[in-house]
Amino acid sequence: MKPMVDLHVHSNCSDGTLSPAGLVDYAMEKQLQAFALTDHDTVQGLPEAFSRAARLREQYLQNGDLSGADSVPEIIPGVELSTEYHGKDIHVVGLFIDPENQTFQTYLTQFVESRNLRNEKMCALLRDAGIDISCEALAAEFPNSVITRAHYAKYLFNHGYTNSIKEAFERYVGDHCPYYLPREKVTPAQAVEMILAADGVPVLAHPILYGMGTKTLDTLVAELKEAGLMGIEALYSTYNPSNERHIRRLADKYHLLISGGSDFHGTNKPKLDLAVGYGNLCVPASVLEDIRAASKKLLFTDMDGTLLLGDSTVSPAMRAALDRMTAEGHHLILSSGRPLPSILEVREQERLIYPNMLILSNNGALVYDCDKKRNILEYRICAEDIAYIVHAAQTRGLHIHGYTDTEIVCRGMNAELAFYTRRIHMPLKCVDDIAAALPEGCFKLQAIHLTDKSILEDFRLSLLDYCGGRIQMIFSNEQYLEILPAVAGKGNALRFIADFLHVPLSRTFACGDAENDISMLQAAGTGIAMANAPEAVKKAAHIVTAKSNDEDGMLEILEQYFLPH
C-alpha cells in the first residue's frame, strides 16, 4: 500500500468527535504514515496526541516489534485559524508549528477571549428566544473543547430544540440567522504572519469552498503569497478533478507547496472518513516530505572572512556543527563573490558536501544546484558592456578580467592576477581582446588594485553614466571591485533561492563581512555581520557576532538558531 498522510484533521478539542488519542489509534487503523492535528484556533490537543503516539511506540519496542513501532503515525503539530476576507470566512492551516511559541500563544489567548465574549452574547440572544442555554452549560456538555457553532447546533439538537443539526444551522446559528454573532477576526494575511512567527508552514485551506470567482481567489492567493503563504490545499475531500487542476495551476503560478487533507471531524461530518475523505482522497507521503523540507531554515554564508579561516579552510569544530545542522534538515548555501569552480573546489577540499545543496556564486549572478549539476539562475553582463568597461579600465592602466565557465579571461599574468590566484585556482585564458573572448557575456568582471582603493572608487564613478542602469559595482574587499549585472547581487539571489525552496524569508539567515554581503544581510530574515566586518556591514545586520571568522564567530549563530539544545 502506498504511504499516505492526512494534513487536515480535527479532534474533540475543537469541533471533532474523536479525542486526540483516539485519532492516533484510528490513524493506525487507517495505516496512515502521519497526520496533522489542526484543531480550530487551539493547540491544546497536541500533548495528548504526542503522548499517545510515544506510549504506543514504547510498547511495541518493549515487545521487540520494530515494524509495529514504525506503524505508529507521526503527529504533525498544526492549527487551523479562522479569518475574514471581504466578508468571507477564510481558514489558514499552520503545519509544523511550535505550539510553545510565546507570540503565537499570546495570539491564541486573545483569540479565545474574543470567542468567549461572542459566545456570551450569542447565549443571551438564544435565551431571549426561550432556549435554556449558557456558556457554562456548553462547557459542561463539551468539556475541553473550543466552543464553535457546531457545538451550539449539537446542543440545540440534543435538547430537543431542533430535529437535526442541519435545522439548528438553518434556524439559529447559520451566517444569516438572528442569533449568530460574528466575532472579531484577523485577516488571512495576519494569520499567515502568526503561523510564520510560530515557525510553521502556512497553507490556505480548502480554497474551492469559499465560492470565490477565479479572479478574486487569484487576488487572495497573490496577497497571501506576499505575506508569506507557503502552501495551498489542492487535495481535499470534496474536490473533483477540475477543482484539483484549478488549485494546482494556482500553486504553480505562485510557486506554492501542495498540501491536502480530509478535514476529518468524526461523526460531525458523516461519511467523511480519515485519510480518504468521501472515498477518493489520497494524499501521498511525498506531499508531507516537500512541506517538511520547507519547514527548515536556510543559512547563507559568505566564505572568505566569514565561514573560512584566514588560510581558506574550515575548522573541525565548524565542520562538525555544519554536519549536525544539515542532518537536522536545514540548508547550507555557500554565498560568495568567487566564481563557481573556486567554490566547488573549496566545497570538495573542506568536505562541505550535503544533500540538496545550492551555491550562490559571482555575487548572485549565478545559482548552482549541486545535486543536479546545473545552473538554476543566471545573469550576465552583455558583450557590448564588457567591451566598454574593459576599454575604460585599460585606458586607466587598471587590471580587469572576466570569466568563462571554467577560466579566468585576461590579457596576461601580472601582479594583480598573481595575488588573486593565490585563492582562486582557475586556469588563465590569455587573450588580446577580453570582450571578443566572451561573446555570450559573463557573470561578472573583476577590477583589482592592490594598493589604492580610491582608484577603484574613481573607476566605479566613471562607469555610471554609460552603463550604471545595467550593472552594479561593489567591493568584496579593499582591493577587489566586483562588476555584475544590476539584477544580480547576493540579496536578490537570496530571495530567489528562498522562493525556489518554498522557504519564507523569515526563516533565512545570512552571514557576511564585506560590502558585497550587505544586500544579502538586508534581504534575510536575520542578517549577521562578523565581528571582523567594517562598520557599514555591521549597521546593515540584525546581529553582530562576538568573535571573528578566525575565531569561528559563526558557531554562535549555528548553536543558537540551528542546532538542537
Confidence band for 1, pLDDT divided at 50, 70 and 90: low
Running DSSP on this structure, what letter comes out for residue 525? S
Residue 148 has pLDDT above 90, yes or no: no
Confidence band for 135, pLDDT divided at 50, 70 and 90: very high
| Residues 390-430 pLDDT 10s | 999 999 999 999 999 999 999 999 999 999 999 999 999 99
Residue 93 has pLDDT above 90, yes or no: yes
213 Rama sector, left if φ>0, alpha if ψ -120 to 50, beta otherwise:
beta
Q: Are 338 and 303 in contact (CB under 8 A)?
A: yes
Average pLDDT of every residue of the chain: 94
Distance CA(502)–CA(497), nearest Å, equals 8
Q: What is the mean pLDDT of residues 127-149?
A: 87
Smallest CA-to-CA distance from 477 within 435, 516, 426 is with: 516
Distance CA(288)–CA(285), nearest Å, equals 5
Confidence band for 88, pLDDT divided at 50, 70 and 90: confident
Distance CA(443)–CA(512), nearest Å, equals 21
What number of CA atoms fall less than 13 Å from residue 58's CA on the CB side?
6
Q: By mean pLDDT, which of 19-33, 103-117, 121-135 is the weakest?
A: 103-117
Q: By three-state DSSP, how is residue 342 classified? A: helix
φ/ψ of residue 518, rounded to 5: -60, -45
Confidence band for 184, pLDDT divided at 50, 70 and 90: low
> How much of the chain, in percent, has pLDDT values that exceed 90?
86
Residue 285 has pLDDT above 90, yes or no: yes
Q: What is the mean pLDDT of residues 282-287?
A: 96
Using CA atoms, how far residue 395 sits from 61, 80, 390, 400, 506, in Å, is 76, 65, 9, 11, 46
Residue with cell 570582450: 435
Other Cβ atoms closer than 10 A to 101: 18
Q: By mean pLDDT, which of 105-114, 132-141, 225-234, 432-441 is the weakest?
A: 105-114
Q: By three-state DSSP, how is residue 87 classified? A: coil
Q: Are 182 and 176 in contact (CB under 8 A)?
A: no
Distance CA(496)–CA(479), nearest Å, equals 29
Q: What is the mean pLDDT of residues 257-279?
A: 95
φ/ψ of residue 116, rounded to 5: -60, -40
Residue 554 has pLDDT above 80, yes or no: yes
* pLDDT computed for residue 240 by the predictor: 96
Between 127 and 564, the higher pLDDT residue = 127
| Residues 462-509 pLDDT 10s | 999 988 899 999 999 999 999 999 999 999 999 999 999 999 898 999
* pLDDT computed for residue 142 by the predictor: 86
Residue 533 has pLDDT above 80, yes or no: yes
| Residues 51-69 pLDDT 10s | 999 999 999 999 999 999 9
Burial 489-510 (b: 16+ CB within 10 A, else e): bbbbbbbbbbeebbbbbebbbb
Element (H, E) at 190: helix 188-197
- SS3 sequence of 459-510: HHHHHHHHHCCCEEEEECCCCEEEEEECCCCHHHHHHHHHHHCCCCHHHEEE
Distance CA(387)–CA(382), nearest Å, equals 9
Show the beta-strand stretches assigned E in 312-426.
331-335, 358-361, 366-369, 374-378, 399-403, 408-410
Residue 148 grid coordinates: 464553535
* pLDDT computed for residue 176 by the predictor: 83
Instruction: Please name the residues in contact with 409: beta carbons below 8 A apart, sequence gap of 6 or more.
Output: 401, 402, 403, 429, 431, 434, 437, 438, 442
